[in-house]
Amino acid sequence: MTVLCLVERDGAGPDAGPADASLRALTFARSVAGSAGVNLAAVLFGPVSAAAGHELTRYGVTAGYAVTGAERYAPLGWARALAGLIGQASAGAVVAAGTDRGHEVMAHLGAITGQPVAANCVSAACASAEAGPPGGWRLVRHRWAGSLLEDAVLEARPALLTVAVDAVAAEPAVPGQTLAMVGYQPELADGDLAVQAAESAERTAGVSLATARVVVGGGRGVGGPEGFTMLEELAGLLGGTVGVSRVVTSQGWRPHKQQVGQTGTRISPELYLACGISGAIQHMAGCQSAKHIVAVNTDPEAPIISRADYAVIADLNEVIPALVAALRQRAGSA
Ligand SMILES: Cc1cc2nc3c(=O)[nH]c(=O)nc-3n(C[C@H](O)[C@H](O)[C@H](O)COP(=O)(O)OP(=O)(O)OC[C@H]3O[C@@H](n4cnc5c(N)ncnc54)[C@H](O)[C@@H]3O)c2cc1C
C-alpha cells in the first residue's frame, strides 16, 4: 500500500518546485504513511527535473509519478489521473493541500471513486494495521473556518484527505532517501480536459496568494483602485503578492481572486502586512495562519490591532510610500 500526495508546483516547467502548501501536505502525508507503515509517493503534473525531484526526497518521498497529458491545471483531468494511480500504486490514502486546487481536485476524485473527502485535516493516522475499514483512519479536522476542531473516524479506502493550510509546518525528513520517479499517462477523455486553466496571473508572476511567503493586504482604507499601485510595488519589493478584503472586491477595486478570508483565499504567509483593514472575523478566518501580522491602521481600536504582532497607528498613505522608498534604496545600494 502507498500514500499518494498531490504536489502543486510554484511556476511551470521541469524545475518548478513544490509550492509551500504542498511541502506542508507532504509533511502531513509522511506522517499518515508512517502511521500505516507504508511508503509515500508524490504525484506531479508535467516533467520533473532532478533538482525538483531532490526537493521531494527531502520530504521523505520515495516514489514519484510525473503525469503527462494534463500539464495545465485541469481539475477533472487531474482527478482522473489520481484515480488511475490509486489502482496502480494500491493507494490507501490520497492527500492534497487544502488549497483551492487541492479541494477542487479532491472533490472530483471523491465523485469518481465514490469515497468521502475529509477536508481541512489537522492530523490523520491509521487506526488499524490494514489501514482501511473496519479500523479506518482517526482524524482531527477544522470545521467552521477553523473555529472548531472535529474528531472523526473515516472508514474509507482510499481515504481522501486535504490538509488545513496552517495545520503542519513544512519539515524535511531525515536525509538519505532515494527517489524512483516514473512517468504516468492517464487515459483521459476529451471531457476531462474541458475545464483547464489557460493562464494564471499570480503564477505567471511566480507567487500565488495561497502559497506566498509575504502578502501585502489592502482594505477599504486604501481609498480606491489607484491606491493599490503602491501596495503592488511594495509586494514586488518584498517578493510577495497583494491580498484584499471583501469590501475591496465588492467595490470592484480588485478581482475576487485576490480576496483573503472566509469567502476568499486562506493564506499562511510568513508576513501579512494588513493596510487599512479593520480585521473583521470573516477576514481573520483567512489570515489567522499568518506567522506574523503587521497592521497599518489609523484607528487604534480596530479589531486587527489586537490580533497583530505589530501595529503601526498611522495613515497608510504616509507609511507605505516611506517603506517603498526605503526598500528601493536598499535594493539600489545592494
Ligand atoms: C458571510 C460573510 C462573509 C464574508 N467574507 C469575507 C471575506 O472572505 N473576506 C473579508 O475581508 N471580508 C469578508 N466579509 C466582510 C467583513 O465582514 C468586513 O465587512 C470586511 O472584511 C471589511 O473590510 P475592510 O476591513 O477593508 O473595511 P472596513 O471594515 O471599513 O475597515 C477599513 C479600515 O481601514 C482603516 N483606515 C481608513 N483609512 C485609513 C488610512 N488612510 N490609513 C490606514 N488605515 C485606514 C479604518 O480605520 C478601518 O479599520 C464577509 C462578511 C460576511 C457577512
- Nearest protein CA to atom 2 of ligand 1, as residue: 282
- Nearest protein CA to atom 8 of ligand 1, as residue: 261
* Closest to 89 (Cα-Cα) out of 158, 189, 175: 158
Sign of the alpha-carbon torsion through 67, 70, 74, 79 = negative
Is a pLDDT exceeding 60 seen at residue 134? Answer: no
Q: Which atom of ligand 1 is closest in space to residue 220's alpha carbon?
A: 26
User: How far apart (Å, rounded) are the C-alpha atoms in residues 239 and 206?
Assistant: 9
pLDDT-wise least confident of 1-15, 194-208, 223-237, 253-267? 194-208
What is the whole-number distance in angstroms between the Cα of residue 136 and the centre of ligand 1? Answer: 42
pTM, to two decimals: 0.70
Q: Does the beta carbon of 280 lie inside 6 Å of ligand 1?
A: yes
What is the whole-number distance in angstroms between the Cα of residue 103 and the centre of ligand 1? Answer: 26
Q: What angle do CA 159, 96, 260 make, to 5 degrees?
A: 130
Summarize the confidence of residues 178-192 as an average pLDDT. Answer: 93
Q: Which residue has the cell 506566498?
A: 212
- Nearest protein CA to atom 38 of ligand 1, as residue: 221
Is a pLDDT exceeding 80 seen at residue 128? Answer: no
* Closest to 86 (Cα-Cα) out of 94, 74, 75, 78: 94
Q: Which residues pair with 97 in a beta bridge?
A: 163
Summarize the confidence of residues 135-162 as an average pLDDT. Answer: 90
* Amino acid present at 271: L
Q: Does the beta carbon of 261 lie inside 6 Å of ligand 1?
A: yes
Q: Which residues of 208-242 are buried (b: 16+ CB within 10 A; e: fewer)?
A: bbbbbebbbbbbbbbeeeebbebbebbbbbbebbb
Count of alpha carbons within 13 angstroms of residue 135, beta-carbon side: 12
Is a pLDDT exceeding 50 seen at residue 333? Answer: yes
CB 255 within 8 Å of CB 200:
no
The number of beta carbons lying within 10 Å of the beta carbon of residue 129 is 9
Is a pLDDT exceeding 70 seen at residue 129? Answer: no
What is the whole-number distance in angstroms between the Cα of residue 47 and the centre of ligand 1? Answer: 42
List, in sequence order, every beta strand (DSSP E) within 127-213: 137-143, 148-154, 159-163, 180-184
User: How far apart (Å, rounded) are the C-alpha atoms in residues 160 and 225?
Assistant: 41
Q: What is the pLDDT of residues 275-313, one digit of tens each?
A: 999 999 999 999 998 999 999 999 999 999 999 999 999
Is a pLDDT exceeding 60 seen at residue 264? Answer: yes
pLDDT at 204: 46
- Confidence band (pLDDT; 50, 70, 90) for 332? confident
Q: Does the beta carbon of 315 lie inside 6 Å of ligand 1?
A: yes
User: How far apart (Å, rounded) are the C-alpha atoms in residues 113 and 160?
Assistant: 10
Inter-residue long-range contacts of 289-292, CB under 8 Å, 24+ positions, other chains counted: 289/165, 289/166, 290/215
pLDDT at 208: 82
Q: Which residue has the cell 472586491?
A: 249
Summarize the confidence of residues 85-113 as an average pLDDT. Answer: 96
- Confidence band (pLDDT; 50, 70, 90) for 222? very high
Is a pLDDT exceeding 80 seen at residue 130? Answer: no
- Nearest protein CA to atom 53 of ligand 1, as residue: 282
What is the whole-number distance in angstroms between the Cα of residue 191 and the centre of ligand 1? Answer: 40
* Closest to 34 (Cα-Cα) out of 3, 11, 69, 9: 3
> What is the pLDDT of the chain when averaged over all its residues?
92
**3-class secondary-structure state, position 221:** helix
Is a pLDDT exceeding 90 seen at residue 165? Answer: no
The number of beta carbons lying within 10 Å of the beta carbon of residue 258 is 23
What is the whole-number distance in angstroms between the Cα of residue 242 and the centre of ligand 1? Answer: 15
CB 124 within 8 Å of CB 29:
no
What is the whole-number distance in angstroms between the Cα of residue 220 and the centre of ligand 1? Answer: 6
- Nearest protein CA to atom 48 of ligand 1, as residue: 278
Higher per-residue pLDDT: 135 or 251: 251
Q: Does the beta carbon of 219 lie inside 6 Å of ligand 1?
A: yes
Give me the percent of the chain exceeding a pLDDT of 70: 94
Q: Which residues pair with 125 in a beta bridge?
A: 138
* 67 phi, psi to nearest 5 deg: -85, 130
Q: Does the beta carbon of 256 lie inside 6 Å of ligand 1?
A: no
What is the whole-number distance in angstroms between the Cα of residue 259 and the centre of ligand 1? Answer: 11
What is the whole-number distance in angstroms between the Cα of residue 283 and the centre of ligand 1? Answer: 7
What is the whole-number distance in angstroms between the Cα of residue 94 and the centre of ligand 1? Answer: 37
Out of 216, 262, 320, give the residue to mutate to test ligand 1, the one with the largest number of ligand atoms within 8 Å of its CB.
262
pLDDT at 146: 74
